[in-house]
Every structure is written in C-alpha cells, then in structure tokens.
Amino acid sequence: MNKLIENLRALGPVKLGAMAAVAVGVLALMATLAVTGGPSPNATLYDGLGLKDASNITTALAAAHIKYEIGDNGHSIMVEPTQLDQARLLLAQHDLPAGSSSGFAIFDHQNPLTGSDFLDRIDETRAIDGELERTIDLIQGIRSSRVQVVLPQADDFSLHTAPAQASVMLSLAGAAPLDRQSIDAILNLVASAVPGLKPSNISIADDRGDLLAQAGRNDNAMLDARDASLKQATEQHLTDAVRSMLDAALGPNQVRVVTAVSMNFDRTAQTATSYDPNGQVVRSQQQSRTKSNRTENDNKTVSVANNLPGASTAPATPKSVDATSRTDQTTNYEISQTVKHTIHATPEITRISVAVMLDDVQVKGPKGQMITRPRSAATIARIQNLVQTAIGYDKARGDVVDVQSMAFANTNTMIAAPKQSLLARFMSSGMLMPLLRIVVSGLIALAALLVVFRPMVRRLTAPPVPASADAAIGGPNQAAIAGPDQEGADNPIRAIVELIDRNPEDSVAVIRGWLSQEGTS
C-alpha cells in the first residue's frame, strides 16, 4: 500500500488530476444513464387542453421559469411534482385554462353606445354558444365541443316565426363512444338554455363522423329510445337482485341469472264521471200562484135605446159565475258527481321471465374421487320461491321463473393456451429496457477500467529496474553509474525520463531515427 502511494506521488499533480477527471466523467455518465433512462417523474398539470390554452399555459410557465413537458400531441402539460401546486396557483392567477370560448364575458368590454340591433343579436348568439360549450366540456368523456345556435326570429310582415335550432360538434377524449345518457343530457342542456328550442331540433355529431342525435326526430322517437333504456335498466336491476341474493347462499360463481321483462309503454288519458243519487241537495226553488174570477150581468137585453148616445140605462147587478185558483212550485236538486282524470304515463310491467341456472354440487364418490351431482328438488323449490319473492311474482300476469341445476363447464379442463417461452415472457414483462440500460452502463464502466485504469495500475505496480552494482567504468575504484532509484540531481536516467516527458514527440522522432539507422546498417 505504501508503495502504491509513493508511485501515485511520483506521477505528479497533472497526471493525478487527469485520472480524477476521467473517473468523475465515467461516474457521471453512469449516473445520467441510470437517472434519465427510467420513466419520466413529471406529474400531469392539465390534460385534455385545447391548443390555444396549451400555448397560453406554456408561455406563462416559461415566464415563471417552471420546467414543463408537452404530451398527447399538445393536449397535456406535465411539470415536476415539487412544482405542481405552484404551477396551478400561477395559472389560476392568469385565469388559465380559459376554455375555447368566453361566453357572456364578451359583453364586459363593449361600448353599448356603438352597437346595433344586428350586432347585439350576433353577440347574444355567440355568448350562448360559448356558455353551452363551456358547460358541455365538463361532461366526462368530452375533450372539447362546438355549438351553433340559431335563435327564433320572426320575418317582417309575417305571422310565421322560424323555430330555434342548434347543432353540436363533440371531440371525444377517449376511444369509447359516448353513452346514451350523456347524449340525452346534452340535448336537455341545450334545449333548456335557448328559448323555444325543442330537443327534436338539435343535432349532435362527434369527431369520428358518427351522428349521435338527428334533428327532425319527433318526440315519439326520443321516447322509444328512453323506453328501451328503461327496459334494459329494469332487467339489469332484477338480475343483480337475484344474483346477489343467491351468491350469499350458494357462493360466488355458482349461479347464472337471465331476466326478460315485457313492458307496456302506452300513454293513455281517461276521464270518468260518477253520480251519487243519495247525495242530492236543493239547488233552487220557485213557486207561483194564480187566482181568477168570472162574473155575468143580469140585464142581457140589447136594444136601440140602450145603444144611443146619452141613453141612460139602469146599472146591472153583476152575478158571479165561477172562481179559479192555481199554485205552481218548482224545486231543482243538485246531485253530487265525481269527475276523475287519469293519465297513465308510467310504463307498466306486463310479464317477467327469469331463468336461473345452478351449478351442480361436488361430492365424493365411492372411491374417494370428486363427482358432480344435481341439486335436490327441495333445494331447487326453495330457490324458486326465493326468486319469485324477489321479483314480485304475479301468476295472473303470466310471470315465469325457471330454475335448473346444471353442471358448469370447468375452466381447468378447457384447452389451455400454448405456454409462452421464457424469452417471450421476458420480452413482454417490460424488464428488457431497464436491464439493457444496466448492461450498457456496465460495459461502459468495464471499457473505462480496461482502457484507462488498467494501464495506470500496471504502471504503478510495476517493479523498479535494478541497477548493476558491478558495472563500472575504469575498474572497481571507478564510481558506478547511478540507477533510477538513486536520489540526486546528477542522476542521468531520471534526467532522461524527465526530458522525454517534457518532449514526447521529439523523443519518439529520435527513437524512430535510431531504429531506421539500425535497420539500414
């Protein structure tokens, strides 16, 4: 060890510095490959951004000297986990991401004195479009949207008003299509935000060219789609209820349940009026009385003297003939009645059919082997009663519940897939790249040891050249030639070594000249 230290000291500070620089460079290269060769440690700042928002966000991050990475073709931005919160606060200060539209914010910086009815109407339409786009973008599965709304407008000198219409273009975030529930939600959101707009006047399409909702559909078509969805949801609900109940008793993967539901979606309105004869009440009463008398005179003589003007006649004594009296009375009664308006808008289940398949039980045979045996009739009957109770069985409605015991296919006896080779499993395990990085780092370190450190170590550990003690010039009394280990400034070998170190190119040229002269001689 002491000899190694002495040899290192003999190299001088220049060579020791070169060796240290090479060692530090190799270690730095290995550390760089180990650190940067793995997956990116950055965290996602925002995903599903529009290109305009992504551009504004990267500008703000660059101004704040926050390192970032762009992914997903410019729609996602990632930063270091330690700077994630700082970046979000910074973007919130700049109102980013702002979305693809401003909505009613376009009225914030407008002068109301320089507008017109036409421009105000255009701005109103743009504001509605922007607000709807910002609302639709919040739905899961939608990356961005475009909305064009046509507001209802009455023509001049016409009683006809053009109905409101709208079209929606969706850019989906994933490969999965948009479900029916989200489509109905968009239809109702747009229809509720625009005055006079009906869902039947809205068309929806996605960026793949699929028509999700067609304009011009009547209400019946929309109701048919909802009825089908309701029927499917009812069947799934009953299936899950029966399966969860039987799994608790028989165990998992022992039951298969299929449910079919027939439903009546007719919507009827019925009006019925009933009268109660015992509930009569006097509503009005009218009464009239009539009385008349008829009389006659005793003097019934008719003559000229009686008819002459100024003729005096003796007053006749009236004679009563008959008298009449009449009384009328009218009474109106109000009989109580009941008017019932019944609207059947809720679907009605007309029949339920449930098929339940039970796996056979495993029992030990006479020789101790495991065999399958169908379940007993009593067990099947109990399970059938449970299923009937769970689904609300109604015999008058025609419901059917069928429970059968049947051996399920054993997955262990199925044809097994061909086993992958060790190399194929290693290639698919994802360990190839990490292992390759380790191998490359090891090869670089090994090359550095063989090329740089091995010659140095060999030179340091080489034994010194011994000096000939008997070699002398002019006899034993002549002083011996100094060897390399002799100390002193008059050592010729050390002087030659230092001269070669200072002028390596000239020394090589001299040696080559000697060799060439020796070869020609």
**End position of a domain, from candidates 410, 430, 457:** 410
Helix axes 180-193, 219-250, angle to 10 degrees: 140
My answer on whether 174 and 227 are in the same domain is no
The CATH number for 186's domain is 3.30.300.30
Q: Tell me the pLDDT band of 463, cut-offs 50, 70 and 90.
A: low
pLDDT for 427:
67
* Residue 180 and residue 230 in one domain: no
Q: Looking at the domain assignment, is residue 502 inside a domain?
A: no
- List CB contacts of 265: < 8 A, sequence separation 6 or more: 223, 227, 347
Chosen domain end from 185, 217, 249: 217
Are 172 and 185 in the same domain?
A: yes
Q: Domain for residue 249, yes or no?
A: yes
Q: Specify whether 63 is located in the same domain as 154.
A: no
Whether residues 167 and 250 share a domain: the answer is no
Place of tokens 């008793």: 249
pLDDT in tens, 36-82: 554 456 888 887 777 788 888 899 999 988 988 888 788 888 898 88
- Looking at residues 96-121, what average pLDDT do you find? 66
- DSSP result, 162-206: EPPEEEEEEEESSSSPPPHHHHHHHHHHHHHHSTT--GGGEEEEE
Question: Does the residue 248 lie in any domain?
Answer: yes
Q: Which domain holds residue 62?
A: 43-100
Whether 282 maps to a domain, the answer reads: no
d(CA 32, CA 444): 12
More confident residue, 156 or 34: 156
pLDDT of amino acid 476: 44
pLDDT of residue 512: 77
Q: Are residues 31 and 163 both part of a single domain?
A: no
The model's pLDDT over 356-380, given as tens digits with 9 standing for 90+, comes to 999 988 888 787 778 888 899 999 9
Q: Are residues 121 and 189 in the same domain?
A: yes
Residue 163 lies in a domain: yes
Q: Are 137 and 182 in contact (CB under 8 A)?
A: no
Q: What is the pTM of this model?
A: 0.42
Q: What CATH number is attached to the domain comprising 227?
A: 3.30.300
Between residues 480 and 442, the one the model is more confident about: 442
In a domain, residue 154? The reply is: yes
Parallel, antiparallel, or unpaired: how do β-strands 370-373 and 361-364 relate? antiparallel
**R_g of the chain computed on alpha carbons:** 55
CB 221 within 8 A of CB 198: no
* Cα 256 from Cα 267, distance rounded (Å): 35
Distance CA 144, CA 182 (A): 14
Residues 244 and 390 in one domain: yes
Do 131 and 195 lie in one domain? The reply is yes
Same domain for 201 and 173?
Answer: yes
86 burial type by CB count under 10 A (0-12 exposed, 13-18 middle, 19+ buried):
middle
Cα-to-chain-centroid distance, residue 185: 15
**Per the domain annotation, does 224 fall within a domain?**
yes
165 part of a folded domain: yes
Most confident of 99-113, 164-178, 468-482: 164-178
β partners of residue 256: 357
* Domain end position, chosen among 370, 390, 410: 410
Instruction: Give the CATH number, domain containing residue 60.
Output: 3.30.70.1530
- How many domains, the chain? 4
Torsion of CA 378, 380, 382, 386, to 10 degrees: 180
Shared domain check, 352 and 258: yes
Q: Are residues 208 and 243 in the same domain?
A: no
**Contact indicator for 188, 199 with CB cutoff of 8 Å:** yes
3-class DSSP state of 38: coil
Scored b (16 or more CB within 10 A) or e, 286-312 reads eeeeeeeeeeeeeeeeeeeeeeeeeee
